[in-house]
Amino acid sequence: MTKHIIAPVSELPVGARKIIEINGRSIGVFNIHGNYYALRNACPHQLAPLCQGHITGTTLPSQPGEYIWDRDGEIIRCPWHGWEFDLTTGHSIFNPHKLRVKTYAVTVERGDELLKQQIGTDEADPSVETFPVTVEDELIVLHL
């Protein structure tokens, strides 16, 4: 599994999204109530740019004439035809058992730890001038 740094946590506040391209794939990364989720930016209906859609909530089952609004900020509506998907799972709202969008794992990692993983801890070549580097922010990391 390959790690891709998306952004510092401070650049993707609650309710925000960032659409990126990695290895020819367009992927949307979302901050939902402080948790991060990633979806393929393609609606399974006609490959519309799903992650550009309106983020909303949904109504819950209730008594006739009663409307209970919930999951605000967790549902995305396709900008072309209005199909809705759960941002946290990728499942369709109207047919969750048969229709879904590809999801990807997202973690938040300390910048200094991630830097150590990427550059390793091998001894540096003494003929090459090096400088200490630190990353003090937490980073949003997508796993492909």
DSSP letters for 90-114: -BBSS-TTT-B--EEEEEEEEHHHH
In CATH, what number is assigned to the domain containing residue 47?
2.102.10.10
Report the domain count for the chain: 1
pLDDT the model gives residue 125: 65
Q: 94 lies in which domain range? A: 3-121+130-143
pLDDT (tens digit per residue) in 38-47: 999 999 999 9
Is pLDDT above 70 for 117?
Answer: no
The confidence band for 113, taking pLDDT boundaries of 50, 70 and 90, is confident
Neighbour-count burial for 125-144, b at 16+ CB within 10 Å, e otherwise: eeeeeeeeeebeebbbbbee
pLDDT tens-digit series, residues 118-143: 655 555 566 777 666 555 678 889 99
Confidence of residue 110 (pLDDT cuts 50, 70, 90): confident
Burial class (CB in 10 A: 0-12, 13-18, 19+), 34: exposed
